[in-house]
């Protein structure tokens, strides 16, 4: 919320854990940049639903990792995936999952 307020952006809370497939369908129809904040285990399922595969993104997110960003970029009708270490705070790790 604080980031959205500073950037004067609307926040949608329409999607909840368990609704990853629905969110993936919505993202397929959305243009532009979207920032998604969610519980990390749900992010693994969202990645599978968005990428339509289970072998591209990690299938587990360790509970102690809070220093990664997953980036999904549209590539025609499909999506590309990459992991970006934040490296902003002391203790952030550079290895990806």
pLDDT for 40 equals 87
List per-block mean pLDDT (blocks of 10 residues) for the chain, which spans 97 residues. Answer: 88 92 95 89 94 96 93 94 95 94
pTM exceeds 0.85 for this model: yes
CA Rg, the chain, in Å?
Answer: 14
pLDDT for 25 equals 96
pLDDT for 2 equals 87
Interacting residues of 44 by C-beta distance below 8 A, sequence separation 6+: 57, 58, 59, 60, 61
Q: Where are the domains of the chain?
A: 2-85
Distance in angstroms (rounded) separating the CA atoms of residues 48 and 58: 9
Cβ neighbours, 10 Å, residue 14: 9
Distance in angstroms (rounded) separating the CA atoms of residues 50 and 29: 11
């Amino acid at each position: 919320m604080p980031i959205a307020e500073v950037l004067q952006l609307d926040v949608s809370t329409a999607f909840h854990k368990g609704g990853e497939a629905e969110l993936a369908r919505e993202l397929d129809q959305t243009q532009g940049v979207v920032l998604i904040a969610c519980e990390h285990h749900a992010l693994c399922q969202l990645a599978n639903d968005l990428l339509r595969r289970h072998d591209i993104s990690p299938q587990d997110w360790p509970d102690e990792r809070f220093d990664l960003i997953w980036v999904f970029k549209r590539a025609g009708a499909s999506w590309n995936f990459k992991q970006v270490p934040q490296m902003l705070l002391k203790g952030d790790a550079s290895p990806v999952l």
